[in-house]
Structure 1
Amino acid sequence: MKEELNEKLFHEFPALFESCYGSKPKDPLYYWGIQCGDGWYELVHSVSELLTRHNPEIESEQIKEKFGGLRFYHTHGDDYASGVVEMAGHISFQICEACGDPGIKRDHDGYISTLCEKHKGRKSKAIGKDLAATTPIDDDIGNGWLRLIVALKKIIKWDVEKNGMPPVVDLTIKKDNGQLHVEFSGGDQSTKGMVDLIIHYSKKIDEHSGHIITATIREKSNEIGS
């Protein structure tokens, strides 16, 4: 991620990043910054804001791309923080790391990354799926938000079946006054973290296209997929 975007995050969330940027200059984040493309800036920002709001004592240890997905390692975590981070990692496979537009996971000569058509590179092979394209379209909700909704449902189902999350019932997703709303009962604090993440991020993208609408980083991004 560009130095200017690193600096914006470090200065907006000083407590979250101090241990690896301020008082411990030998830590990886100080030397290398946030190790992902500019296109995930808004996603990292959403995670940072939610974690800081939830518990000011949470500290980032390392943020990077791994196997095409976002990894956000932190201390003082709990179920809510785990839900936020898990959801962000899951939807990162639908967000181009270079520019923030909708993307899918791709294999570029053995290197896995999540990129859009523009940034995919000539030799890349698609190995992921567009969740909006593989799901019946809700007439009332655009594809930009639909990707988030499908990801949320998939990860809730997985965690209930495989990880012991209490069943989530009465999951209601709707658009109200131009905003995405999610209501549910059951689940746990991890579920709440997942829901809060997609609601927070949905406000940063166009409902229909999925393009970032709160920043200009798409115009400044490097062609990391070339």
Structure 2
Amino acid sequence: MSPELTDRLYTDYPLMFARRPILAVAGGWFDLLDTLCRSLQTETSNGAPQVVAQQVKEKFGGLRFYTGPRNDAQRGMIDMAQALSFHICEVCGDRGQHIGPGWERTRCKAHANSPE
């Protein structure tokens, strides 16, 4: 993810990204991550534990969002975002599909063969 997009998440969700983990994903998933973080913070406002991101990365073509303590609702939000990532191009954010086996990734038709 670009430094600018990473900084936006760090700035908008300072408690969630207090540890400043490296966001090892492409920029196409920014909106997905932003929506996930906003939902997690809303749940925190309703008395849930503060989620702190420990690691955010792509693995086997999908988003992985590892955290410390969270409640069942927050776990469900993370699971949903991770599942949705298999349908969103990690490069541009358009509708994509999971490509594999081998080097697995999630891409739209325009980026299916892109080395990014």
TM-score (norm 1): 0.48
Structure 2: how far apart are the matches of 1:121 and 1:107?
12
How many Å apart are 1:68 and its aligned residue? 0.7
Q: What residue is the counterpart of 2:35 in the other structure?
A: 46
Q: CA deviation at 1:107?
A: 2.7
Q: Which has the higher relative contact order, 1 or 2, with Cα contacts under 8 A spaced 6 or more apart?
A: 2
Q: Distance in 2 between matches of 1:7 and 1:107?
A: 31
Match of 2:100 among 80, 96, 107: 107
Matches within 5 A, 1:1-226: 1-18=1-18, 20-21=19-20, 29=21, 33-55=22-44, 57-107=50-100, 110-121=102-113, 224=116
Q: Deviations over 1:150-205 (max 9, x none)?
A: xxxxxxxxxxxxxxxxxxxxxxxxxxxxxxxxxxxxxxxxxxxxxxxxxxxxxxxx
Paired with 1:74 and 1:55, the residues of 2 have a C-alpha distance of 14
Counterpart of 1:66, as a letter, is K
Distance in 2 of aligned mates of 1:14 and 1:103 = 30
Structure 1 CA distance for aligned equivalents of residues 80 and 24 of structure 2: 19
TM-score between the two structures when normalised by the length of structure 2: 0.91
Deviations 1:70-127 (A, max 9, x none): 111111211001110001111111100000000001137x2100000000117xxxxx
Instruction: Determine helix, strand or coil for the equivalent of 1:118.
Output: helix
Q: Report the equivalent of 1:218.
A: none
Q: CA RMSD in A?
A: 1.5
Q: What is the Cα deviation at residue 17 of structure 1? A: 0.4
Amino acid at match of 1:71: R
Size of the aligned set, in residue pairs, is 112
Q: Which runs of 5+ in 2 are unaligned?
A: none
Deviation at 1:58, TM superposition (A): 1.4
- The residue aligned with 1:219 is none
**Structure 1 SS opposite 2:110:** coil
Q: Aligned partners of 1:120, 1:12: CA distance in 2, in Å? A: 31
CA distance in 2, matches of 1:69, 1:107: 11
Aligned mates of 1:80, 1:15 — CA distance in 2: 18
